[in-house]
Amino acid sequence: MSNYIIYHNPRCSKSRETLALLQEHGIEPEVILYLDTPPSIEALAELATKLNVESVHDFIRDKEAIYKELDLDDLMSDEELLPLMNEYPKLIERPIVVKGDKAVIGRPPENVLSLINQ
């Protein structure tokens, strides 16, 4: 089993580039197709901790149509946002790469080098 996990959307160019970058470094991560298998609310909260973000707003895709449909511009608490991210996984920024207790968003893909070089 790999020490790395990637929350991946194969239709996203940045996600594909990030996966390729990991593989170029000899890393075969566990691939989670998060649109097919959304992370639980607990897993999303854990991702927020590993990403070291102030709020889950920091890893929400605010350009997605569902973001506008749900009118998420109004500040909502993490406790309100996490269930929505679970229900509508398109809201989750991609890709997210996890290694142990750290995670980074692969935008740009080179962000994952900070995990590789630990």
Q: How many CB atoms sit inside 10 A of residue 100's CB?
A: 11
Which amino acid is located at 7 in the chain?
Y
The CA–CA distances, whole Å, from 73 to 66, 67, 77, 78, 105 equal: 11, 8, 12, 13, 21
Assess whether 12 carries a catalytic annotation: yes
Q: Which among 2, 12, 13, 48 is annotated as catalytic?
A: 12
Active site residues: 12
